Structure 1
Amino acid sequence: MSWLDEIRWTADGLVPVIAQEADTGTILMFAWMNRESLALTAEEGYAVYWSRSRNKLWRKGEESGHRQKVREIRLDCDEDVILLKVEQAGGIACHTGRHHCFFRILRDGQWETVDPVLKSPETIYR
């Protein structure tokens, strides 16, 4: 049996993935992987996700240069969530140009943006 067979994939053949900055513990982003993207991630050492909206493999940083070098791949106790501990190139993980994707906090019933844009998306994506 392959290590990939030990994962509890969704009915769509996907598994949720959390990318965490290895050095700081900051949760950078959430994404999805299929068997191929997870196998490629393990093989290449860089995060490869599955884009549900584009229905294709997505190598993190392929356009922006903000690649994620994978230090560890972990599987949770229920075998249905992957945790990637990564080194985030360029310090930007979010397509909005922020360090991470969780830049809004709920305060008094309203979402408030609490983290700055580090680089304009217009300059990141051509």
Structure 2
Amino acid sequence: MSTATTVRGIAFAVALMASGPAAAQPTSQVHLADGHDWTRSSSDQRRAYLAGISNVISVGAAWDGKNTPGQEDTFSRTAQRGLKDVHVEEAVQAVDGWYRANPTQLDKPVLSVIWRELARPRLPAAK
């Protein structure tokens, strides 16, 4: 990923966070990006979203490392392991393909698609 793409991704993620106090909103009012948002977005916006998600997961995993030492099953750490070798273009293609194959499920959050289609299949089977 180029520096320009990373910077745009960070700027997009910061803009999303700055657009409103999501933590203060009731859960029913929080909007997660879904297939409607994804399919209306440009390629650059899709890549920026994925860069933002990647940054949030990385920051979360680093925070977990300092604040929950020894606890490896946090969402951030698990997602980071599952997405370790996934490149942006692979993720864009996977999400595009999933929404194309499931046009009646555009309400499903993009993060859910990323988790189910990319991260979880790369994790070792649960014991």
TM class by shorter chain equals: under 0.3
Q: TM-score, normalised by structure 1?
A: 0.26
The structure where helix makes up a greater share of residues is: 2
Q: TM-score, normalised by structure 2?
A: 0.25
Which structure ranks higher in relative contact order (CA pairs < 8 Å, sequence separation ≥ 6)? 2
